[in-house]
Amino acid sequence: MTPQQHGPVVAAPPGNQPGQQAWQRGRLPSAVGDRGGIYPRWPFLAALFLAPTLVVGYGIEEYFASHVCSLGWWCGIDLLPGPMQAFIIWLTFLLLWLIAFVFGVGPLEIRLMPGAGSRAAVPSGPIGRFFFAISDVRRMSHLLMLFGGMALVGLIVGYRTNRFTPVAFAVGAVVIVVAVCSTIWSLQPHPPQRLPAQYVRRMSYPSYIFRTLPIIDHIWPPRPPTASP
């Protein structure tokens, strides 16, 4: 796929400032573009963070199965009904999805361009480059589809063999959702989203991204950012 098909959110060069007239009419151009919602980078990162959380939780549960537990409410989490455990898993996944989106759009998707027609470089800094590389779902879309298909088959087999559990369904559904998001995203082109260069830094702040969420923008709408110095 070419950069023109799947480009990042970038700053337009001087003299070509899309969205300036929209601001003058009181409307804000999107700082997110089509990198919100079902953009697969965010659920994929959420699933990556969820996996070690589940592993650590399982390890703690196994450890305290033969030791005295002193972790308060955590000691009885394995005694909760299966549907409640599945609900906690999905609530955690959705919360991590939101965190990945709010804090990831700026450093991973909005990048300054040195000039017209230039390719956007990868994020600066080792942490930004690491998360950008491991969540580049464009390069692993087919692998994610395979994992999603395997998770679906596993859930069907578990149901037919009476080994189906709510927790297994919750974890399998996470894998399937990531695969579906990746599939939908890969089926259509996504040209670069261009923002006025003097505003792009302010529009990449997590607080600004959070205020662009569909419900939040009506309660606490983002204000037109001032030009960066």
pLDDT of residue 38: 81
Residue 121 is classified by DSSP as P
| Segment-wise mean pLDDT, segments of 10 residues, the chain, 229 residues | 47 46 47 75 94 79 68 66 89 94 84 44 73 85 92 93 89 95 83 65 79 76 59
pLDDT of residue 64: 65
User: Rounded to an integer, what distance in angstroms lies between the CA atom of residue 70 and that of residue 68?
Assistant: 7
Helices 166-186 and 41-63, packing angle to 10 deg: 160
User: Rounded to an integer, what distance in angstroms lies between the CA atom of residue 71 and that of residue 68?
Assistant: 9
pLDDT of residue 128: 80
pLDDT of residue 19: 44
User: Rounded to an integer, what distance in angstroms lies between the CA atom of residue 197 and that of residue 15?
Assistant: 10
Q: Phi first, then psi: what are they for 212, rounded to 5°?
A: -90, -5
pLDDT of residue 224: 62
Domain residue ranges in the chain: 9-14+35-215
pLDDT of residue 90: 95
pLDDT of residue 113: 45
Name residue 193's beta-bridge partners.
Answer: 9
User: Rounded to an integer, what distance in angstroms lies between the CA atom of residue 124 and that of residue 108?
Assistant: 9
